[in-house]
Each structure stands twice: as structure tokens, then as C-alpha cells.
Amino acid sequence: MPDNLPRIVAVLLDGLPSTVIAAVGGIALTIVLSFAAGLSLLARRRAVRVLARIYVEGFRGTSEVVQLFWIYFVLPVLVGLQLVPLYAGVLVLGLNHGAYGAEIVRGAVQSVPRAQYEGCTALGLSPAQRMRRVILPQAVVEMLPPFNNLCIQLLKSTAILSLITVADVTRQGVQVLIPNFGPDTELIFAVMAVVYLVLALLITAVMRVAERVAARRVGRRPTRAARGSTVTPAGAR
């Protein structure tokens, strides 16, 4: 084992809290914005749809790094609002990935069969009751796999926070380790990659559980992928 491995790991793990906070905060904001914007894309009022569309195209179509610099460097000059780097990072991660998530929500809601809407109408449910009680619970099942992708992408994007001085895993590696352990460059980057991989696998594990719960709630047998290889297939109940 290379002599420096324990120290390299220790220094990188010092960056773990920032990376995790940025990822968790970013994911939370992403979920909120995805639903808000995704449902707005389907709103009856045109003005609401247009606003949501501007948000989605605006944040999906511009560079995340540029967005980050705007919020961190330009906003203070323009309106005198200087955000803590980590918060600025969470904001950009959430805004950016929320724009992608909005399309996931919209697509999933639209994938619920027309017959379900008609069933609601025939029972006299209002449009709001219909969405909350019948359509969304079914749509969520469809949303989870693409949301898993989105969350992993967001996790990896947290590395850009190192550009605005957040001491995350990437910044610890590039700014602290490389200058001091130059000969171990391959090792440093390899450990960094493994840290992200482990976090990504963690996200996937959580999402798999969510998929199984959601599938069960709509009375569907979980897909083989969501059931996971370690779980014995449940027989018909």
C-alpha cells in the first residue's frame, strides 16, 4: 500500500461534509423546483406556462459554471448580495437541476393514462384533488428512475463549488493534495473518483428503496432492477 494513502484519504474526507451538504441541499432544492416548474409547465394559464418555460430553458441552456459565477461574483456587484459560497453553490445546483427535473415531472404526469383523469371527473373530483390524490402518486413511480440519474449528475456537479472556494472533496484534492504530494497524482485522483463513486452508489441505493415503495403503492410488482439482486423475489401475495 502506498505510504501516503491514509493521509490522502484523510485530507479528501475533510472535504466530504461540504460535498455532502451541497449534494443534499441541491437535491432538496431540485425536487421542490422540479415539481413547482414541472406542474407549472402543465398549468392552464398561459402566463404560468410561459414563465416556467423561461426558467427551464434559461437554466438548462446555460453553463452551470457561468450561473455559479453570476450568483457568486456578479450578484454582489449588482444588488450587493454576497452569498456564503456553499449556499451559492446549493442555489445554483438546485436551480440548474430543477430545470431538468421539471421536464421529468411534466413527462411523468403526462404519461398517466387519460382514463385516470376521466375516472376522476366521473367521480366529481376537482382538478386539484385529481392531481394530488390520483395523478401525482402514479406519476411519481415514473419519475424515480430519471430522478436517480439527475441526483447522481448533481452530486458530480458539486465539484464546481471548488471554483468558488468551497472546501469540498475536489478542492481538497486539487488545492491541498496536489501541491504537497505531487508524485502521487494518479493515486490522489483515483481516490477522489472512488469517493464520488461511493456517494453515487449510496444515492442509487436510496432511490431503489424509494422505487420499490412507490411501485408497491400503485400495486405494481417492482421491476427486477428496483428489486435488487440481494433481495429474494417475493412471491405472489
Partner 1 sequence: MIVFSAVEKRYDDHVVLSELDFTVSAGEHVCLIGPSGSGKTTILRLLMTLEAADGGTIHVGGECLTHMLRGGRLVPADEKHVREVRKRIGMVFQQFNLFPNMTVRGNLVEAPTRVLGLSGDEANARAVELLELVGLSEKIDAHPTRLSGGQQQRVAIARALAMRPDVLLLDEVTSALDPELVAGVLTLLRDIGERTDITILCVTHEMGFAQDFAHRVLMFDGGRVIEDAPPSKLFAQPDHQRTRDFLRAVIDRA
* Residues found near partner 1 in the complex (CB under 8 A): 115-116, 118-119, 121-127, 129, 133-134, 137-138, 217-220, 237
Min dist CB 117 to partner 1, Å, is: 9
Nearer to partner 1, 46 or 237 (CB): 237
Residue closer to partner 1, measured from CB, 48 or 174: 48
CA dihedral 167, 60, 206, 133 (to 10 degrees): 140
Q: In the numeric block, which cell numbers belong to residue 191?
A: 481516490
For residue 73, what are the contacts with CB-CB under 8 A and spacing of at least 6? none
Cell of 115: 382514463
Nearer to partner 1, 7 or 133 (CB): 133
Residue 225 Cβ, how far from partner 1 at the closest point, in Å? 19
Minimum CB–partner distance for residue 230 and partner 1 (Å): 25
Whole-number minimum distance, CB 181 to partner 1, in Å?
A: 54
Measured CA to CA, the distance from residue 26 to residue 168 in angstroms comes to 14
| Shortest distance (Å) from residue 167 CB to partner 1 | 44
Q: At what angle do helices 185-217 and 5-14 cross, to 10 degrees?
A: 50
**Closer Cβ to partner 1, 125 or 200, answer by number:** 125
> Is 104:147 a contact under the CB 8 Å cutoff?
yes
Torsion angles phi and psi, residue 217, rounded to 5: -65, -30
Q: Which is nearer to partner 1, 69 or 117 (CB)?
A: 117
Rounded Cα distance between 66 and 74, Å, is 10
Helix (H/G/I), strand (E/B), else coil: 95:
helix
Q: Which of 203, 192, 152 is nearest to 9 (CA)?
A: 192
Q: Which three cell numbers stand for residue 16?
A: 466530504
* Smallest separation, CB 206 to partner 1 (Å): 21
Which is closer to partner 1, CB of 7 or CB of 216? 216
Q: Outline where DSSP puts E strands in the chain.
A: none
